[in-house]
Structure 1
Amino acid sequence: MLTIIIAIVIVILLTIGLVWLIDKFIPKKMKPVVNILLWALIAFLAYNTFMSVYGEIKFNQLKNKRYAVVIESLKDIRDAQLAHRTVTGKFNGNFDNLVKFIDTAQYTITQRRDSTVKDIERTRAIGVDMFKDIVVIDTLGFVSVKDSLFKSDDRYKTMMNVPVGKPGAKFELKAGMLENIPVFEALVQKAIILDGEDKNLISKENEVVSVDGVNGPTLKVGSMEEVNTNGNWPKNYSNEN
């Protein structure tokens, strides 16, 4: 946007300069013709300047809409991964396996309660009945992961597909261990989300470094380099990172 503003200022200064030159050096007989040509040039430059500004505004509006849709898909992937870790203790790097997990897996519903039992070792050592407090975990039942996360919605079956941008594109998914702690990462290149738009604006978007923008060339959730299940989008795109 700063480049566009500078361009507008330059156009204005050039116009003022041309008017001064015409008034100073062009013979009166030639001034009408030159004025027509000058106004045509001004109109051409004004149109191109306007389209540059308007084009970037439209690009940003489209970008925000597409990012919002993609973020919802990334949040679904994260929910599925967190459920997988809860049940199995690790994340899954394969979408087909993740879908099968959601279709078949169940959460175990438990209840913790305090209890008191006889402490055999201390009783033997002291010769008097001794007791100790323990925590008992009771299994109350099971609930479907699918029903818990998605209820009757089956959108999880296509969560590997990038919902906007380049047709047929899929999210990249990785999972593994980082210092014995499970980690995962799901991402998509911005260029895929913004497929079909101005390449210069896409390149500019890839270089964004801003507190209210998506930094870097990808939109992602999780990380393979640190223990983190957050997304890399700011809160103006979604209240939930």
Structure 2
Amino acid sequence: MKTVINIVLAACVIGLIYVCYGSIVGPINFDNTKKAREKQVIARLIDIRKAQLEYRNLHAGAYTASFDTLIDFVKTAKLPFVKKEGVLSDAQLEAGMTEKKAMAIINKAKKTGNWKEVEKEGLMNFKRDTMWVAVTDTIYGAGFNADSMRYVPFGNGAQFEMAIRNDTTKSGAPLHLFQAQTPYETYLSGLNAQELANLKDLQSKLGKYCGLRVGDIEQPNNNAGNWE
């Protein structure tokens, strides 16, 4: 009988150790996996932000709420790149010379064939040539897959939520905002349900979005991510 009691007690001790171990290791494992997944989700949100900023530059400050439009832009659009040779000296700048004026003088000489003014102003070695470079070659690394931009890593095919807002400020100035986001449930699926519930509860009490987001359509935030 005593042997049976000892076995039962030993089993209880092992059970308690297992429970205590799980209560310590469980949150640690959840946090480590969360950080690893969020690293990839954040990288994708940054890719979206890069594309939106370039899109805005070529579309009068406006963003797009369509991934189809944004991805097509990344694949096909070209951005202006100015190749510069030579700089204006302090003396030229003090005399009122600007890059715009310098290029006007040079362009006039190209049309007329008369380079006397160019020589007089000391602009013979001054050049500004605009080239058009593909978006993918400008803001992304080699092998970037634009089609993947819409999908949330670890989201089993889920797409980011993207929205824009076109408005005016109190002064009447145009206001263009965008945001892209994904909730915790999308990229943390399959992890400890209780830890996920605890995380959401904490964020809700702090009045924060329960997930990752870049930009904000409610108020300007310079397109910052909520992890920054």
Spell out the pairing of 1:1-241 with structure 2 (5 A cutoff): 34-88=5-59, 89-109=61-81, 113=99, 115=101, 140-164=130-154, 166-179=155-168, 180-209=174-203, 216-228=209-221, 229-233=223-227, 241=228
Q: How many Å apart are 1:219 and its aligned residue?
A: 0.7
Length-normalised TM-score, structure 1: 0.66
Aligned CA-pair RMSD: 2.5
Superimposed CA distance per residue, residues 205-235 of structure 1 (whole angstroms, 9 cap, x where no aligned partner): 22345xxxxx5311111111111201111xx
> Structure 1: which 5+ residue stretches go unaligned?
1-29, 118-137, 210-214, 234-240
State the alpha-carbon separation in 2 of the partners of residues 151 and 44 from structure 1: 52
Superimposed CA distance per residue, residues 170-202 of structure 1 (whole angstroms, 9 cap, x where no aligned partner): 111111224321111101111111111121111
Asked if 2 retains the 8 angstrom alpha-carbon contact of 1:78 and 1:221, the reply is yes
State the alpha-carbon separation in 1 of the partners of residues 3 and 58 from structure 2: 82
Q: How many Å apart are 1:94 and its aligned residue?
A: 0.4
Judged with a 3 Å threshold, the aligned counterparts in structure 2 of structure 1 residues 33 and 152 are, in CA distance, closer, same or farther, namely closer
Superimposed CA distance per residue, residues 71-114 of structure 1 (whole angstroms, 9 cap, x where no aligned partner): 10000000000111111121110000001111222223458715
Asked if 2 retains the 8 angstrom alpha-carbon contact of 1:161 and 1:171, the reply is yes
Q: How many Å apart are 1:32 and its aligned residue?
A: 6.4
Whichever residue aligns with residue 217 of structure 1, its letter is: C
Q: How many Å apart are 1:151 and its aligned residue?
A: 4.7
Asked if 2 retains the 8 angstrom alpha-carbon contact of 1:189 and 1:217, the reply is yes
Identity of aligned residues (%): 30
State the alpha-carbon separation in 2 of the partners of residues 225 and 152 from structure 1: 35
Matched length: 179
Asked if 2 retains the 8 angstrom alpha-carbon contact of 1:178 and 1:224, the reply is no
> Structure 2: which 5+ residue stretches go unaligned?
85-97, 105-127, 169-173
Q: Which structure would you say has the larger RCO, counting Cα contacts within 8 Å and 6 or more residues apart?
A: 2
Higher Cα radius of gyration: 1
Tell me which residue corresponds to 2:114: none
State the alpha-carbon separation in 2 of the partners of residues 159 and 114 from structure 1: 38
Runs ≥4 residues deviating over 4 A = 30-36
Asked if 1 retains the 8 angstrom alpha-carbon contact of 2:75 and 2:146, the reply is no
Length-normalised TM-score, structure 2: 0.70
Whichever residue aligns with residue 203 of structure 1, its letter is: A
